Amino acid sequence: MMLNIAHEIDEVCEYSFLWNQNLMAKLHEVPKEQLLLQNAVRSKVEATINAIAPDLIVFYDHGSESELIGADGNSCLDTDNVNLLSGREVYTMACLSAKTLGVEAWRQGCRAFWGYVEEFGFTLDDLDAFEELAGLGLLARLLQGMSWADAKKQVQDKANYLIDKAISEGNFSAAMLIRENTDALRVWDGEVPESQCSFRNFALKIFGRKRGWNILGGRTQV
C-alpha cells in the first residue's frame, strides 16, 4: 500500500501538485491512499500511517532540512514523529529533507529515503523535463522493479540527456537547475549519509554503515 500526500499551499506547489497527480495517474494500478490538499496535515498523516501501515510514502511539496510541510504550513512529518517512517520507504521531491530528516529516518529503520539535500528548482520554459525527473525514480522503482540505487542511476542518466538537450536549445538556466537537482538527489538506502563528524567517520569505518551511524546515539549528527 502506498500513501500519497500532496497539496497546493502556494504557486510552486500548484506545479508540484499537478506533477504528483500526473504521476499517480501513471501508477493507477498501485494500491494507494491519498491525503490531498487540506487533508495533507500532520494529524491526518499520522492517523493514516497508523491505520493503513503503508510500505511507501510519497510526498510532493515543500520541506526543510528536518521536516515535510503540510497544507496548513506546519510540519506534517519531522524528526519528532520520524519513527512513523520506520520500516517504510519514502519518496519526496521536497527541498532539503534528505539532509537531516532523511538521515534520521534512515537511522530509525526507514528502508529507503529518496529526497534532496538542496532546494529543488525548476524553470517554466522546460517544465516537462523537471516533472519527468521528479517522478522518474518512483516509476522506475514501482513499474520496472528497480532497486532504489538503480532508479537513481536512471534519473542521473536521464538528467544528463536532458541537460545536453537544454544546452543544445540554448536554455542553460534549465540545464543548470537540472544539474543542481540531480546532484542534490540522495537515496538513503544504497548510499551511506555523508558525515562531517570525525568520530562518526571513525565509527563508520570500524563498525560499518548501520552500526556506525547508530553507535554514537542521540539526534542526527552529520
* Nearest distance in Å: CB 98, other proteins: 14
DSSP code of residue 194: P
Residue 175 φ then ψ, to 5°:
-60, -40
Q: Interface with other proteins by CB under 8 A: which range of 35-43, 98-106, 117-125, 142-150?
A: 117-125
Cβ atoms of residues 57 and 50 within 8 Å: no
47-66 residues in contact with other proteins (CB under 8 A) are: 62
In angstroms, the CA 151 to CA 146 distance is 6
Residue 77 φ then ψ, to 5°:
-140, 130
Should residue 15 be labelled a site residue for other proteins when binding is judged by CB under 8 A? Answer: yes
Q: Interface with other proteins by CB under 8 A: which range of 21-29, 83-91, 114-122, 131-139?
A: 114-122
Should residue 180 be labelled a site residue for other proteins when binding is judged by CB under 8 A? Answer: yes
Should residue 17 be labelled a site residue for other proteins when binding is judged by CB under 8 A? Answer: no
* Nearest distance in Å: CB 177, other proteins: 7
Task: Give how many residues touch other proteins by CB under 8 A.
Answer: 28
Should residue 95 be labelled a site residue for other proteins when binding is judged by CB under 8 A? Answer: yes
* Nearest distance in Å: CB 209, other proteins: 28
Nearer to other proteins, 19 or 213 (CB): 19
User: What phi-psi label fits residue 82: left (phi over 0), alpha (psi between -120 and 50 degrees) or beta?
Assistant: alpha
Going across the sheet that includes 112-116, the strands are: 32-36, 2-6, 56-60, 89-92, 112-116, 185-188
Distance of CA 216 to the CA centre of its chain: 26
Q: What pairing do the DSSP bridges indicate for beta strands 185-188 and 75-78?
A: unpaired
Nearer to other proteins, 11 or 128 (CB): 11
Should residue 35 be labelled a site residue for other proteins when binding is judged by CB under 8 A? Answer: no
List contacts with other proteins (CB under 8 A). Answer: 10-12, 15, 62, 95-96, 119-125, 160, 163-164, 167, 170-173, 175-177, 179-180, 183
